[in-house]
Amino acid sequence: MLPDANKYARLTFATKMVGSNMAMDPIMDCVHLDEKWFYITRETRKFYLVPGEKGPDRKCKSKRYITKVMFLSAVARPRYLDDTGEWWDGKIGTWPFTEVTPAVRSSVNRPAGILSAVARPRYLDDTGEWWDGKIGTWPFTEVTPAVRSSVNRPALETKSTNVTKNVYRTFLVERVLPAIVLKWPGPRNVKLQHDNARAHVTGDDAGLRAAFSAYANIGWNFSLFPQPPNSPDTNILDLGFFAAIQSLQHRTSARSIDELVVNVVRAFDEFPLERLERTFLTLQACLIACDHERRRGQHLQGRLPMNAICPCDVFEAAKAKLNTADAAFMDSKVADELREDRATFELARALEAMGLDDDVADALDDLGVELICLDDERVLVVNPPPESNGDVGF
């Protein structure tokens, strides 16, 4: 159950999306940003094998800590471009939070070998000097990332990185904004929407404002705003895009972080723009709390509307509710809850990043401490207590 302040923020966001003709905003100038963990495998998977075929070798140090990588994705609404006669798919890009670092493990297995060429030394009459006869020496080597490292030559491996405010800002400035400039069909007024995670920068961030100013010099107008708190259904990525990408990603097995990244990027690229377009209509339906119609059937029949229509009585009731609320008090409550949510998010992210090895896990089991398994596919739904009859909410 949402608190009153969250309801107020959500209602304010929804009413701003309704036009003068009661049609919902087409959301053509907005880029939705969000992050998601993608796991290298599921704890339980089904494989179909032919007679005599061996099953895949699936090993993990602990099923409680399956290898995973966080991705930042950016999408906008697909649209038909009159000047080119083609459809733009609305996919800005997806980027993994990874870094390439020297591996810790060492090995003595290294290729070796040298080719040398020499001749007999001789005295050169024309120069009056001795030539040493050394033609040269060349090692049979090539520069490639080592599978395992040694003391003298560390191997390179891809690791998942923690997402901090500095890392998030860097991704926005160095990856998201250039990708928008490269792919955006126009016009050059772009809004960036993300959630209220603690690691996210705000529109007042100095580094981000400097980047926006630099792009303003070449005709781009960027702005950044947060979505309503505790309202993931106001973001296209949380509304269904990430779930579909995850399903596509698991169709191909991965044995390393590099292969996982390739699978996720491929799934992102292969996601059909028709489904992304229907998700934007689902977002509009969520804002006006109407029933989700069969959009795929409407699309096949050519009856899919461009935008949802908000009933007049629903809009007037929402405006009346907002007019009776104390706007200043609600705004301060929303700000307080955002600070609390960000602090909770930071704690959860820190706990999630902590990995317990098998010895520590066994010791905790012996002490009777129950470990929590963070599984993305298991959700515990707890029914909220009924509202008190004497307390009238927002």
CATH number at residue 318: 3.30.420.10
Residue range 52-71: mean pLDDT, rounded: 81
Is 366 within the bounds of a domain? Answer: no
Whether the model pTM is above 0.75? no
Is 391 within the bounds of a domain? Answer: no
Predicted pLDDT at 132: 79
Show the DSSP H helices in the chain as ranges.
Answer: 4-16, 165-171, 177-183, 206-216, 236, 242-249, 257-270, 273-287, 295-300, 312-323, 327-353, 358-366
> How would residue 298 be classed by pLDDT, with cut points 50, 70 and 90?
low
Residue range 353-381: mean pLDDT, rounded: 51
DSSP 2-42: --HHHHHHHHHHHHHTB-TTSBBP---SEEEEEEEEEESS-
Is 119 within the bounds of a domain? Answer: no
Indicate the DSSP class of residue 333.
H
Is 379 within the bounds of a domain? Answer: no
Is 361 within the bounds of a domain? Answer: no
* Residue 292: domain span: 4-44+61-103+157-350
Our count of domains for the chain comes to: 1
> How would residue 350 be classed by pLDDT, with cut points 50, 70 and 90?
low
Whether the CB-CB separation of 340 and 6 falls below 8 Å is answered with no
Is 215 within the bounds of a domain? Answer: yes
Q: What is the CA radius of gyration of the chain?
A: 28
Least Cα distance to 78 among 66, 67, 88, 93 occurs for: 88
- Token digits of residue 243: 């779930």
On the question of pLDDT at 380 being above 60, the answer is no
**pLDDT tens, 179-190?**
999 999 989 999
Is 125 within the bounds of a domain? Answer: no
Whether the CB-CB separation of 31 and 191 falls below 8 Å is answered with yes
Is 272 within the bounds of a domain? Answer: yes
